Amino acid sequence: MLEFLEYNFEQDTANACPIYLIKAEEFKLWLEGEESHVKNWIYASKFLASSGDICLVPDSSGNIEKVLIGLGNEEIRKRNRFVLGGVIKKIPNLKYKLVSEHPDLEVKEHYLGWLLSQYHFSKYRDQVQTNPRLVSPSMFDGNRTEKIAQGEALTRDLINTPTNDMGPSELEQSIRSLAELHGASVKTICGESLLEKNFPMIHAVGRASAELPRLIELVWGNHGPTLTLVGKGVCFDTGGLNIKPAGSMSLMKKDMGGAATVIGLAHMIMALNLPLKLRVLVPAVENSIASAAFRPQDILTSRKGLTVEVNNTDAEGRLILADALAYADEDSPDLLICMATLTGAARVAVGPDVAPFYTDDNNLANLLKESSIRVRDPIWEMPFHNPYETLIEPGIADLDNAPSGGFAGSITAALFLRRFVENAKSFVHFDIYGWQPTASPGRPKGGVGMGARAILDALPEVLKL
């Protein structure tokens, strides 16, 4: 069964110590309103409201009267997210309430940072956590923030769990548990049935593993516009017969990060009861090495009928996604979203913290970018550059899964996937990383969701909910 962090905001403000979030440019004005003993203490503490600065102000009895947290100047605030979350382990274990004159949107970020910073992965090692408590916010819906944080924690847990405990069957069980929680339905097409049901490329990629490949489908909601989420579920990627070197294989438990992210996003959508019809498709496989493994130079026929020459078995994600996208597209959804840990080229382009995305829908792109800025979930639009279409056309087959030359790897992968989508009203593909290399506020080292909060924020406007 799935386990969710229970944040349970404190409701009673009695004995709650106030936290003041102070911008550097507002510090002097704020200080003018304080009594002289408070001013003297703050001066002595050398608090200047720099980002992450902390000042514990005592009362006459020596108890903490208030806590000041510096947010820095405007330029620094653009760089640093979730500042409050970054100091949560540095302040006494008390009950707090947030005092702020800043816009609700800014306060929401800090509440979310507080929640995200409570995440810890303790499946294999007991980690006793004593976190300060926070009074439930009065200026906005704290329940929504809690559900978003729960979805992000679910994504992190799925990515952080190693493949011996998170193979295709366990990933399926996680989706089934989520469906049971929200009253959704799930069906799975598994093993040889993939061939019978015309999902040949999912079968080809996963057939060498002792874990049967499968396509997992969750359906929820009976009214409203249709949203389909497709997530890459490669639970481990050896690279297949084009085997990865050890250094490249060490993080391949996270190659199901696209699936983990859409599962976390699905929880947010269902927990918030958004008025839409949701469909989640996860092709779940292991790309293993055995006598049954698919080979370089094999030509596979996809669900859509397009033939694909395999020029690298390590470019397997786009193969399983192609069948899943073709299946999704058959229902002509209003919005089709694909999320995948697909290419190293995307990391070279934008690094680990930014999720590049591709779409031909300019309005959708603009709404996603606006939401990204609003909720501090960084994404970046990349081009479906049509002149590169020739790079994915090998001549011997309709498509090449791994064009030679090394240029534009993320773009050519996105173009490959677009070939399998014709009927969806809008289509967007995210090439995510799914991993936080070093700890930062609200984002401990390990698995991490990317783009889900931006998508969630944009959905009401995109789908006219």
Tell me the C-alpha distance between 130 and 401, whole Å: 49
> What are the pLDDT digits (tens) for 20-38?
999 999 999 999 988 898 9
- pLDDT cut 70: percent of the chain above it: 96
Interacting residues of 230 by C-beta distance below 8 A, sequence separation 6+: 262, 280, 281, 282, 321, 324, 325, 328, 336, 337, 338, 339
**Sheet of strand 399-400: strand arrangement:** 299-301, 307-309, 399-400
* Type of residue numbered 113: G
The CA-based angle 12-17-21, given to 5 degrees, is 115
Annotated active-site residue in 66, 95, 133, 244: 244
Annotated active-site residue in 303, 318, 419, 443: 318
Q: Model confidence at 400, in pLDDT bands (50, 70, 90)?
A: very high
Is residue 419 among the annotated active site residues? Answer: no
> What are the pLDDT digits (tens) for 84-118?
999 988 999 898 988 876 777 788 888 899 999 98
Tell me the C-alpha distance between 353 and 79, whole Å: 12
Q: Model confidence at 9, in pLDDT bands (50, 70, 90)?
A: low
> What are the pLDDT digits (tens) for 251-305?
999 999 999 999 999 999 999 999 999 999 999 999 999 999 999 999 999 999 9
Is residue 197 among the annotated active site residues? Answer: no
Q: pTM for this one?
A: 0.95
The mean pLDDT value for 344-348 works out to 95
> What are the pLDDT digits (tens) for 413-460?
999 999 999 999 999 999 999 999 999 999 999 999 999 999 999 999
Domains annotated for the chain, with CATH where assigned, are 17-138 (3.40.220.10), 145-462 (3.40.630.10)
Residues, the chain: 465
* Residue, of 224 and 143, whose pLDDT is higher: 224
Tell me the C-alpha distance between 278 and 228, whole Å: 6
The mean pLDDT value for 112-139 works out to 82
Per-residue pLDDT at 3 exceeds 70 = no
> What are the pLDDT digits (tens) for 222-250?
999 999 999 999 999 999 999 999 999 99
pLDDT at 5: 52
pLDDT at 118: 86
